[in-house]
Amino acid sequence: MVVGAGYVGLVAATCLSKSGHNVLCIEKDKNKVKQLKMGVPTIYEEGIKKILTECLANGNLRFSSDFVIEKDTEIMIIAVGTPSLPDGRVDLSYVEDVFRKIVVEIEHPLVVVMKSTVPPGIGEKLKQHYLNKAKAPISYVSNPEFLREGQAIWDWYNPDRIVIGGDSAESIDKVLELYSDIEAPKFIMNVTSAEMVKYASNAFLATKISFINEIANLCDLVGADITSVTQAMGKDQRIGTQFLKAGLGYGGSCFPKDTRALEYVSTLNGHKFNLLKAVIEVNQGQRILAVRKLKKALGELNGQRVGVLGIAFKPNTDDVREAPSLSIISLLLDEGAEVIAYDPIVKGINLKSGLFNVKITNDLLQAVKDCNALVICTEWREIINADWDKVFEKMTEPKVILDGRNCLPKRQIVELGFKYIGMGVQ
């Protein structure tokens, strides 16, 4: 049984059923359940539709909006959302709702596997607070997920590691059986350590990004080129080439939320995590820096028509949660610019972002028409491979491109007549 058909839940449910397990996926959103029952994925993820269709047809995968623990359920995987609260804390209300239901419903032994990202220490608290009250023995196992959006199915079958935290050998073995067809190093530890692996990994990757953004900013000041610098740096195997792409910083539903939550947990425990504070601050600063760079190039933003290319927080996803594009659009609007946004797949911006009056199009050449400047927020293939000759024709002087992802070939772009500004690119 998998509770929650969001990113992690739906990928877990489909992939586990594909591996031959009998999976019931519970999702309280009835519309989502209706859609999933018809074989239509509710997330944009390569390969998921095929598995979904196959497993619905062979009966290994079922969906329901009713929370019922069937008699033969051995394992319940919790994959509900743990969003950020305004003060950085994690909102555990969805997780706690599930625990309340388990306590009421359960009549036979069960292994509860936590895949939702919960801060270090929370698993032990949940165990004490809820599971002792259940009518049947419940064992708790932490099994954090390291899937990347847009590559989630591939990541499921090819993980760098599988982390399992728990104190019952029997339950840990049961969880290991779920992954018997997956080759990866498996690390067994206590619940809190497993929770920490997840946060430490995301915080470390976020640190790499903010570090390289600081170096890029310094490159701009001293005349070095970040692309050359990172290519050579990355060849040191202790550093590695990944997560050294400078630009507008990290977005998405994970890094921003998890870095804030770890910082909160640190403060709560009397630990001043200065490095992490700086990582968060640098990340926010990159978006402001980009708009400042554009303002400097244009003289002023008021009355200028600016095309924002790429709304999703990264390519190959339609997710706009904490996307740098949203902050950039807000800042541009605040400065009086007229904004038109393009994304190859994002169709609208959630009302919660407050940007509901921004024009969005899925046609790049339409977006750039009469623009004085463009800001590239996502390195989509459709943007990199756009017909830049045509883009030039459609735009209005001074035809500035702020390449927030350093993804365009500067020399060719300048040769076409554009004024190019990168993030640490010479």
Give min distance, CB of 236 to ligand UGA, in A.
16
Structure tokens belonging to residue 290: 């980009």
Give min distance, CB of 418 to ligand UGA, in A.
23
Of 226, 221, 224, the closest CA to residue 244 belongs to: 226
C-alpha distances in Å from residue 419, one per residue of 214, 298, 373, 422: 23, 10, 9, 10
Name which position in 9, 120, 159, 249 contacts ligand UGA (CB under 6 A). Answer: 249
Find the distance separating the first CA and the last CA of the chain, reported in whole Å: 53
Name the strand (E) or helix (H) holding 112: strand 110-114
371 has catalytic annotation: no
195 binding ligand UGA? (CB under 6 A): no
**Contact present, 6 and 254 (Cβ < 8 Å):** no
Q: Which is nearer to ligand UGA, 243 or 392 (CB)?
A: 243
244 binding ligand UGA? (CB under 6 A): yes
**Contact present, 165 and 62 (Cβ < 8 Å):** no
Name which position in 243, 318, 345, 365 contacts ligand UGA (CB under 6 A). Answer: 243
Q: Which is nearer to ligand UGA, 145 or 403 (CB)?
A: 145
Give min distance, CB of 304 to ligand UGA, in A.
26
Q: Which is nearer to ligand UGA, 166 or 315 (CB)?
A: 315
Region near ligand UGA per CB under 6 A, out of 179-187, 221-229, 243-251, 290-298: 243-251
Beta-carbon-side half-sphere exposure of residue 29 (alpha carbons within 13 Å):
11
Q: Partners of 186 in the beta sheet?
A: 162
329 binding ligand UGA? (CB under 6 A): no
Q: Could you say which DSSP state residue 351 is in?
A: G
Q: Which is nearer to ligand UGA, 146 or 392 (CB)?
A: 146
**Contact present, 192 and 126 (Cβ < 8 Å):** no
Name which position in 6, 41, 252, 310 contacts ligand UGA (CB under 6 A). Answer: 252
**Contact present, 210 and 278 (Cβ < 8 Å):** yes
Q: Number of residues interacting with ligand UGA: please give it, by CB under 6 A.
A: 20
Q: Which is nearer to ligand UGA, 245 or 394 (CB)?
A: 245
Region near ligand UGA per CB under 6 A, out of 18-26, 100-108, 220-228, 240-248: 240-248
Structure tokens belonging to residue 334: 């605040």
Give min distance, CB of 299 to ligand UGA, in A.
29
Give min distance, CB of 254 to ligand UGA, in A.
3
Q: How far apart are CA 307 and CA 418, in angstroms?
A: 14
Pinpoint the alpha helices (H) of 106-187: 122-129, 152-157, 169-178
Name which position in 25, 52, 209, 276 contacts ligand UGA (CB under 6 A). Answer: 209
245 binding ligand UGA? (CB under 6 A): yes
In this structure, the number of other CB atoms found within 10 A of the CB of residue 34 comes to 12
- In the region spanning residues 276 to 315, those forming contacts with ligand UGA, defined by CB under 6 A, are 313-314
Q: How far apart are CA 97 and CA 102, in angstroms?
A: 9
Structure tokens belonging to residue 136: 């049947």
Give min distance, CB of 43 to ligand UGA, in A.
11
Give min distance, CB of 255 to ligand UGA, in A.
5
Q: Which is nearer to ligand UGA, 4 or 247 (CB)?
A: 247
254 binding ligand UGA? (CB under 6 A): yes
Structure tokens belonging to residue 243: 């997560």
Cβ burial of 216 (10 Å; 0-12, 13-18, 19+) is buried
Among all chains, which residue has been given the structure tokens 């002792």? 132
From 15, 55, 219, 254, active-site residue? 254
| Contact characters 141-160, ligand UGA, x per CB under 6 A | ----xxxxx-----------
199 binding ligand UGA? (CB under 6 A): no
Q: Which is nearer to ligand UGA, 204 or 356 (CB)?
A: 204
Q: Which amino acid is at 313?
A: F
In this structure, the number of other CB atoms found within 10 A of the CB of residue 237 comes to 7
Q: Could you say which DSSP state residue 60 is in?
A: S
Give min distance, CB of 405 to ligand UGA, in A.
7
Q: Which is nearer to ligand UGA, 14 or 60 (CB)?
A: 14
Name the strand (E) or helix (H) holding 277: helix 274-298
Residues that bind ligand UGA (CB under 6 A): 145-149, 202, 205, 209, 243-245, 247, 249-252, 254-255, 313-314
**Which residues are annotated as catalytic?**
254
